[in-house]
Amino acid sequence: MPHRPNILVVMADQFRAASLGVAGEDPVHTPHLDALAENGRVMRQAVSGYPVCSPHRAMFLTGMRPQVNGVTVNVNSESAEDGVGLRDGLPTWASALRDRGWRTGYIGKWHLEPPVDDDERYGEGRRDDGKVWDAWSPPRRRFGFEYWYSYGAADRHLAPHYWTTDAGREERVDVDQWSAEHEVDVAIDFLSAAGGDPWALMVSLNPPHQPFDQVPDRYRARYADLDEPTLLNRPNVPHGSAVATEAANVARDYFAAITGVDEQVGRLVDAVAARRTRRPTVTLFTSDHGMQLGSHGLMYKNVPYEESMRLPLIVHAPGMIPAGESHTVLDSLDFAPTILGLAGVTLSDERMAGRDRSDVLRGAPGAPALEGEDDDATLYTRFASRSDASSVRGLRTRTSKIVAAWHPESGLAVQFFDLAADPYELHDRPDDPRALALAGRLREELQRADDPWEGAAALAAVTAQLAH
């Protein structure tokens, strides 16, 4: 590779695939992302295998499964008591690039550091749920990112705070500016200070995550007069219900925040283009998960429905990646090896379970064959927590999905959806003959992953029953 590329990753929290403007279905205005998509590669089957913040982010950085990287549930003071948090010393795509000469940086929401007692005092504080979510990350636990302008998990979009590279826990910076706008300002400064060496920067925007009303008024007008059926146009929304009314009210601000994020991404992409260096820049725009927004009578995420699992993903690198779209599955675990593959770097670590999809993105000879294979699958995961004893595993291909939910008291419940014929998952068909084959594949994937799931024996029994 004549010039090692720069890497720019932009992750917008809780931004669902259906809201990706021209590539989605929601009535959202995203002209800058649309332009990026027109000149880049849109991955239509990008999937969050664990659609909630911390677990996806840990897989995204390491390519390792939750039971390996240590992040089995969202990281907060309650889960920290159970030892949940990104494990010390793990390699990431950032550390691999840093070790090979890239200048690395992280800006925005982190949400992988277990809070300690002092974090309640110096961070966001204790929330109404009784937990501390925000945390300062010690320099030794930044997993390859040298430049640091970040916080743990604080939902104050209009009055954010950050810790800089050399700041101690008690030295946070408070800002009076919308977080997405401010973080792009900081990112543009990072680019301005970049020297001749390649750089790798991740910008982690909190919007459009709740609180939904913390969005500048200038983005609201476009959605203020839209009615519920227009805002919530997916056929799996129970219109006329209380949850649909709530979702419509939320959607106006959620879509406004997405339009705001789009504007800020446009500023950042323009800043990259203005540098006019010979070194190419690979830009990835994505999210950590989506949200239900009324679909299936649910509001948020951490469920195995498409509204939560599907991710927006645009990969833009003129001269390196041909424009167009791909239907190859790329999931949470695949990002780390794929980013390294795009950089021309290989990280040999048997713990990394993700697949390098960089050849698919480049349109390499032979890669398009993946497009027609139904074994292009991703494993869905949700671990039990203190507040919910149930746990779930599933397997999703481009055309079908099986979900097995285990509860210690009520046992196993299995769902099957034909995504090709029923993309909105309106018809659960656990007795479909194809469910048996997919259940068998799920069991094989769990065994291959050395997954300690407590519902595995019950799944084996159900599979045997279906076989007869």
DSSP string, 105-121: EEEEE---SPP-HHHHH
Confidence of residue 370 (pLDDT cuts 50, 70, 90): very low
Confidence of residue 323 (pLDDT cuts 50, 70, 90): very high
The rounded distance, in Å, linking the Cα atoms of 396 and 93 is 25
Confidence of residue 313 (pLDDT cuts 50, 70, 90): very high
Helix (H, G, I), strand (E, B) or coil at 245: helix
Q: Of 74, 211, 91, 223, which Cα lies nearest the Cα of 154?
A: 211
> How many other β-carbons are positioned within 10 Å of the β-carbon of residue 375?
9
What pLDDT is recorded for position 424?
98
Q: What is the mean pLDDT of residues 242-267?
A: 98
Confidence of residue 465 (pLDDT cuts 50, 70, 90): confident
262 within 8 A of 280, measured Cβ to Cβ = no
Comparison of pLDDT for 398 and 2, the residue scoring more: 398
What pLDDT is recorded for position 468?
67
pLDDT tens digits, one per residue of 395-445 = 999 999 999 999 999 999 999 999 999 999 999 999 899 999 999 999 999
Comparison of pLDDT for 461 and 200, the residue scoring more: 200
Comparison of pLDDT for 240 and 468, the residue scoring more: 240
H or E stretch covering 62: helix 53-62
Residue 464: is its pLDDT beyond 90?
Answer: no
Helix (H, G, I), strand (E, B) or coil at 89: coil
pLDDT tens digits, one per residue of 155-180 = 999 999 999 999 999 999 999 999 99
The rounded distance, in Å, linking the Cα atoms of 360 and 342 is 10
On average, the pLDDT of the chain sits at 94
352 within 8 A of 63, measured Cβ to Cβ = yes
The rounded distance, in Å, linking the Cα atoms of 289 and 308 is 6
Give the angle subtended at the CA of 159 by the CAs of 156 and 160, to the nearest 5°.
Answer: 70
% of the chain surpassing 70 pLDDT: 96
Confidence of residue 371 (pLDDT cuts 50, 70, 90): very low
Distance of CA 399 to the CA centre of its chain: 21
What pLDDT is recorded for position 51?
98
Q: What is the mean pLDDT of residues 116-127?
A: 96
The rounded distance, in Å, linking the Cα atoms of 388 and 393 is 15
Confidence of residue 375 (pLDDT cuts 50, 70, 90): low
> How many other β-carbons are positioned within 10 Å of the β-carbon of residue 297?
14
Q: What does the domain layout of the chain look like in residue ranges?
A: 6-372, 389-467
Question: What's the token pair of residue 434?
Answer: 């194809």
Give the dihedral of Cα atoms 417, 66, 286, 281; nearest 10 deg: -140
Architecture of the structural domain at 6-372: 3-Layer(aba) Sandwich (3.40)
The rounded distance, in Å, linking the Cα atoms of 232 and 213 is 18
Confidence of residue 1 (pLDDT cuts 50, 70, 90): very low
Distances (CA, A) of 170 to 108, 122, 423: 18, 6, 49
Three-state SS letters, 352-419: CCCCCCHHHHHCCCCHHHHHHCCCCCEEEEECCCCCCCCEEEEEECCCEEEEEEEECCCEEEEEEEEC
What pLDDT is recorded for position 23?
66
Cβ neighbourhood burial of 161 (10 Å; 0-12, 13-18, 19+) = middle
Residue 16: is its pLDDT beyond 90?
Answer: yes
The backbone region for 158, taken as left when phi is positive above 0, alpha when psi lies in -120 to 50, beta otherwise, is alpha
What sign has the CA pseudo-torsion 299, 305, 307, 312? positive
Its pTM stands at: 0.96
Top-level class of domain 389-467: alpha beta
AA identity, residue 138:
P
What pLDDT is recorded for position 368?
43
Helical ranges in 172-215 per DSSP H: 179-193
Give the dihedral of Cα atoms 360, 365, 366, 367; nearest 10 deg: 0
Distances (CA, A) of 311 to 52, 117, 305, 314, 404: 12, 35, 12, 10, 22
Residue 467: is its pLDDT beyond 80?
Answer: no
| Range of weakest confidence among 79-83, 135-139, 228-232, 360-364 | 360-364
284: Cβ–Cβ under 8 A, 6 or more apart, which residues? Answer: 7, 8, 9, 10, 313, 314, 315, 316, 339
